[in-house]
Structure 1
Amino acid sequence: MPKLLSIFRIVALLEGVSYILLLFIATPIKYFGNDPTYVKWLGMPHGLLFIAYIVIAVLISSDMKWNNRTFWTVLIASIIPFGTFYVDKKFLAKKDA
């Protein structure tokens, strides 16, 4: 379990960073600069990280003994900018020590 939790923390960090880059850098460049290159470069890695985040969250939820509220908070955090950083600090960091 600790190994999967460590992997989840890394995936959460990478997913959060990729989401922020996609939202605040790549998308404005696409629409204001007429250059979709960065969205194409960041879109696929972000999508894969998002799927990995969801799958691993489902896998570790019972071992982490998350109630329904915590489980849904962890999942919903993946669609909110900076949400995965909150999840790491609030629910994961103290368990991975």
Structure 2
Amino acid sequence: MSQTNTARQFHWIGYAEGISLLVLLIIAMPLKYLAGIPEVVLYTGWIHGLLFITYLLLSLAMYRLQQWSWQLLLASWVAAFLPLGTFYFDRYLRKR
């Protein structure tokens, strides 16, 4: 995988992971607890989990291919755990 393709994939997966978390928190969880539709969280959570794991794996690829420092790798992982974190981290990378 080339550096450019990996960086592009990391960018898009970061956005998809961030959006999936927002959908899970803002739409799926209220539907589960307020409307009694638990299936929404099951499917949305599954999709978010796949995107989350993909984001972490792509950050490892970026660490290796783009020669990130371990601090930048750690920052990408912390961003993955914070709501809106992947958006802020992507913005930081683009300004770098």
TM-score greater than 0.5 by the shorter chain: yes
The structure-2 alpha-carbon separation of the partners of 1:62 and 1:94, relative to structure 1 and needing over 3 Å to count, comes to farther
Counterpart of 2:21 in structure 1 is 19
Stretch moving more, 65-74 or 5-14: 65-74
Counterpart of 2:89 in structure 1 is 87
Q: Size of the alignment, in residue pairs?
A: 94
- The runs of 5 or more residues in structure 1 that have no matched partner are none
How far apart are residue 90 of structure 1 and its match? Answer: 0.3
Give the structure-2-normalised TM-score.
0.88
Which aligned runs of 4 or more in structure 1 are off by greater than 6 angstroms?
Answer: none
Stretch moving more, 53-62 or 34-43: 34-43
How far apart are residue 68 of structure 1 and its match? Answer: 2.4
Stretch moving more, 8-17 or 61-70: 61-70
Give percent identity, aligned residues only: 32
Equivalent position to 1:67, from 57, 66, 69: 69
Distance 1:87 1:64 in 2: 15
Give the structure-1-normalised TM-score.
0.87
Whether contact under 8 Å (2:79, 2:86) holds in the other structure is: yes
Structure 1 residues 43-58: aligned runs within 5 Å: 43-58=45-60
Query: Taking CA–CA contacts closer than 8 Å with sequence separation of 6 or more, which of the two structures ends up with the larger relative contact order?
Result: 1
Select the structure that is richer in helix.
2
Cα RMSD over matched residues?
1.5
How far apart are residue 94 of structure 1 and its match? Answer: 4.7
Deviations 1:32-83 (A, max 9, x none): 2211122122111111111100001011113333222221110111111100
Distance 1:87 1:81 in 2: 11
